[in-house]
Amino acid sequence: MSEEHHINYVKVWAWLVGLLCVSVAGPMFEIKVVTLITAFGIAGVKAYMVAKNFMHINIAPRFVAYMVTTGLVFMLLFFAGAAPDVMEPKGENWFKPGWHEVDIQGAEKELEEGIFFKDQVDH
Amino acid sequence: MSGRPIATTRSASGMPTGLLAVWWVIVSEIVIFGGLLGSYIMYRLAHDAWTAEAAHTNTWIGAFNTLVLLSSSLAAVLAHRAAEAGDGRKAHHLLWWTFAGGVTFLCVKAVEWSIEIRAGYTLASNTFWSFYYTAAGLHALHVLAGIIIIAIVARSAIRNLELHRVELIGVYWHFVDVVWIFLFPLLYIAK
Amino acid sequence: MAEAVPITHDEHEGHAGHTGIRSWLFSTDHKVIAMQYMFTGMAMALVGGFFAYVFRTQIAFPGMSVPGYGMVGPNEYNALVTNHGAIMIFWVAMPVLIAAFGNFLIPLMLGCDDMVFPRINRLSYQIFLLSAVVLLTSFFVEGGAFGGAWTIYPPLSAKAEYNLTGPGSTIFVLAIALEFVAFLLGGINFVTTAMNSRAPGMKLYDMPMVVWMIVIASILFMASVGPLIAGAVMLLFDQNLGTAFFDPDRGGDPVLWQHLFWFFGHPEVYVVLLPAIGITADVITVFARKKLFAYRTVLYTVIATGVLSFTVWAHHQFISGVDPRMAHVFTVTTLLISIPIAEMMFVFIATLYGGSITLSTPMLWALSFIATFLIGGVTGIFLGASGEDIYMHDTYFVLAHFHYTFYPIAIVGTFAGLTYWFPKMFGRMMDDRLGKVHFWLSIIPFNMIFLPLFVLGLAGQQRRIYDYTLFPDLDLPWMWALRQLATISLWVMLGAQLIFLYNFFKSLVSGEKAGKNPWKANTLEWTTESPPPHGNWSELPTVYRGPYEYSVEGRDEDYWPQNEPA
């Protein structure tokens, strides 16, 4: 089905490995933003390169790219809908025991003492 | 071509049936991994304390495994090129390199996990580790399924049979690689 | 350009090397697999219906031993309602509407000889059957079947010390996970077949609506079930391996499960709705002898509905403590989604308007789908508004709403399709008079079951309670009267299904032989034998027009088959 495309696969691989090295080196700068960019930005770039050069998504009929993009968009949608609840460790009159610190004994103690409202917590 | 319905040979969408089906598999896998990793990200961003746990994953092993998968993807796409040219022998050869990459990945992971488990970081010790083993485990299951299919396709390929399947398993394998490309920073770098 | 490809027996596997029962068990013929899904689904419907009989009898006559079952304790009651819900959705509605009708109709309506992956088709049924068996075993393990509602919310579902059904809970989740795998495999088959295997000359817009609907439903399913599969793995680990994904004591969040579940759960209802809409469209066009009004609009509307259905899920979670700002968003999207559905209703009415209507049994079912689903949809609007939902959540109002949607979908839609395609599937006509008796004895009792439940719900009767004598506010004579009215109507309705079963089997054996096209319909399945042979046609058809060319001006016949040359 695919035509003969003149991609040098080894060259693509070399770039991918190079990017891998950069992403491993990123945290060594100890700057959070840099780490985030090198880790996830590069992951995005690598994924795109694999999809384009190895999976030939740009040669496949357009609908394939739409299918894949739709899946990704739905995942963003899911995250957007669930994150406001799941990532919120406390509200007006409640908090999630065990979320402000991963301390199993502490969380159990709070539950035993029936501490469910933030006023009751003396942190 | 024995026993294949005429339905399978038609191609009204412009794409061969097998390849179209593999892309649909990939879409459904995107939402499976997306749901799992999305949940992980939600928790991770909200639990600062997990940073302490995450520090114990071994970045070098993770990076090595990434290198292994990237290389096996290279072998897979070269196998596809060989299959397209009708060279079943070469495709077979390259598919075994792909297979070797997958096996290496799984062996390294087995060693890595035994080290971590012996150090006390088990599935239930902390929700970070629960996600770590679940996500990497689900991915490893997909690697395992992939190498089995690669072996099956390779065996037909050497006889110049079913060469179109080389591309199909290749696309699946690249997807498995892409999932790891995201798992690696999530589990190993973001500390 | 005609593709006249004669099909010889050698080119078809499935029967290769197998004889008799084994050839049936291992057949890869889409029609055989369709029947297997159909009969498994209908058998499970009997199980689910029996559960409904038992728990409704307990509600209406609490403390009385239910004939044919015995005393119903509170835990058993919970297990019955939980499994009734799960069975009806996952093991009745889905296999019958999507897998059975999809498998049977798609290759036939598209003019090809089978699905694109017959062996994967076979595998998907085998996994599905396994999932049904796994679910049923949960009744026989220690502790019995899971009773924590079909929504399986943790921590109740995760901790055996709360749900008291340790093994049963794990089996329940496993059964659902297996069912998902079966439908993922099946869905890929349906979508790929529709995208690739259409007859020469058949453009996408020449496909009958029911094919479109099943295909879109399969896509919705594939795109929405992923997070729940992830969630099911996480829940299984919580149940059995001591993880804390959803355990609030240890840093987990039960609300995450709710999001994972409902992100799938809401598109799921559209997954089952769409085939029913497709069946209705195809039935009413045939029995009104009229073109479907605005085919492309219907299509785009349904696609829009499908996309929108991914944005409404948290309306199931309005009172679980979700962020109120998100509640605003989900209220708006939920109310919005009623618009395309309302549009579908208008399209059906416009299709019927001016048509030459025959009130055959399939037509009666299709028309009543429109009427009853309308009630279900409209009552959903009340629930979609978060303010109203604060009062109505977990009351019988919700239950009546979703039965006024699910019953039309899974029961009315199924009977419309079955009575319509029975001649094609089995080569004989069903008894139309018996069919009509069955129809009226089902549809009137159905309304008498659920209309009272709206009233009870508004009066504050909450769900999932096994004995309302325990609640003084609900222990009122007029409420008991309504409960009993609903239950007795259920008994009548369940009894009436015997008429259908009798009609079904009697017609199989001695019904009037159906020709190729007893209904004078346009779509391709009616151009081959009844029942179609292996391979469907000796010469695969070519298509020249769309599926709804009825009552076309200037023609003698009021129908125009798709494969008739111009």
Q: Is the pLDDT of residue C187 over 60?
A: yes
- The candidate with the shortest Cα–Cα distance to A76, out of C227, B55, B135, is C227
C321 to chain A: which residues are within 8 Å by CB? 85, 91, 94
For chain B, list residues whose CB is within 8 angstroms of any CB belonging to chain C: 2-8, 10-13, 15, 17, 20-21, 24-25, 27-36, 38-39, 42-43, 47, 123-124, 127, 130-131, 134, 138
The answer to whether the CB atoms of B32 and C226 lie below 8 A apart is: yes
* Neighbouring C-alpha atoms within 13 Å toward the C-beta of C332: 5
Q: Please tell me the predicted confidence (pLDDT) of residue A119.
A: 54
The answer to whether the CB atoms of C243 and B123 lie below 8 A apart is: yes
The answer to whether the CB atoms of A71 and C223 lie below 8 A apart is: yes
A111 to chain C: which residues are within 8 Å by CB? 249
Q: Would you call A90 helix, strand, or coil by DSSP?
A: strand
Neighbours of chain C (3+ CB pairs under 8 A): A, B
Q: Please tell me the predicted confidence (pLDDT) of residue C365.
A: 98
- The candidate with the shortest Cα–Cα distance to C100, out of C417, C319, C487, C536, is C417
Q: How far is A84 from chain C (nearest CA, A)?
A: 6
Q: Please tell me the predicted confidence (pLDDT) of residue A107.
A: 57
With 0.90 as the threshold, say if the pTM is over it: yes
CA distances C49 to C92, C147, C267, C485, C491, Å, are 11, 17, 24, 17, 10
Classify residue C186 as left (phi > 0), alpha (psi -120 to 50) or beta: alpha
Q: Does A89 touch chain C (CB under 8 A)?
A: no
Query: Structural domain boundaries of chain C?
Result: 9-527
For residue C472, give both structure tokens.
């003084």
CB C220 within 8 A of CB A70: no
CATH code of C9-527, in short, is 1.20.210.10
Per-residue pLDDT tens digits for C407-457? 999 999 999 999 999 999 999 999 999 999 999 999 999 999 999 999 999
Q: Please tell me the predicted confidence (pLDDT) of residue B47.
A: 82
Q: How long, in residues, is chain A?
A: 123
Q: Does A73 touch chain C (CB under 8 A)?
A: no
Confidence grade of residue B52 (pLDDT, cut at 50, 70, 90): confident
Per-residue pLDDT tens digits for A47-88? 999 999 999 998 899 999 999 999 999 999 999 999 999 888
Neighbours of chain A (3+ CB pairs under 8 A): B, C
Q: Which of residues 14-43 of A touch B (CB under 8 A)?
A: 16-17, 20, 23-24, 26-27, 35-36, 38-40, 42-43
Rounded to whole angstroms, how far apart are CA atoms C84 and C48?
A: 5
Per-residue pLDDT tens digits for B148-164? 999 999 999 999 988 99
Q: Is the pLDDT of residue C11 over 90?
A: no
Of C223, C250, C259, the CB nearest to A82: C259
Q: Which residue has the tokens 């497709």?
A: C278
Query: Structural domain boundaries of chain A?
Result: 7-60
Q: Please tell me the predicted confidence (pLDDT) of residue A110.
A: 58
C227 to chain B: which residues are within 8 Å by CB? 31-32, 34-36, 38-39
Q: Please tell me the predicted confidence (pLDDT) of residue C17.
A: 42
Q: Please tell me the predicted confidence (pLDDT) of residue B40.
A: 95
CB C373 within 8 A of CB C409: yes
Segment C524-545 shows an average pLDDT of: 95
The answer to whether the CB atoms of A82 and C256 lie below 8 A apart is: yes
Domain B14-189 architecture: Up-down Bundle (1.20)
For residue B7, give both structure tokens.
């339905």
Q: How far is C251 from chain A (nearest CA, A)?
A: 5
Q: Is the pLDDT of residue C391 over 70?
A: yes
Segment C318-327 shows an average pLDDT of: 89
Q: Please tell me the predicted confidence (pLDDT) of residue A7.
A: 86
Rounded to whole angstroms, how far apart are CA atoms C160 and C141?
A: 14
| % residues pLDDT > 90 (chain C) | 92
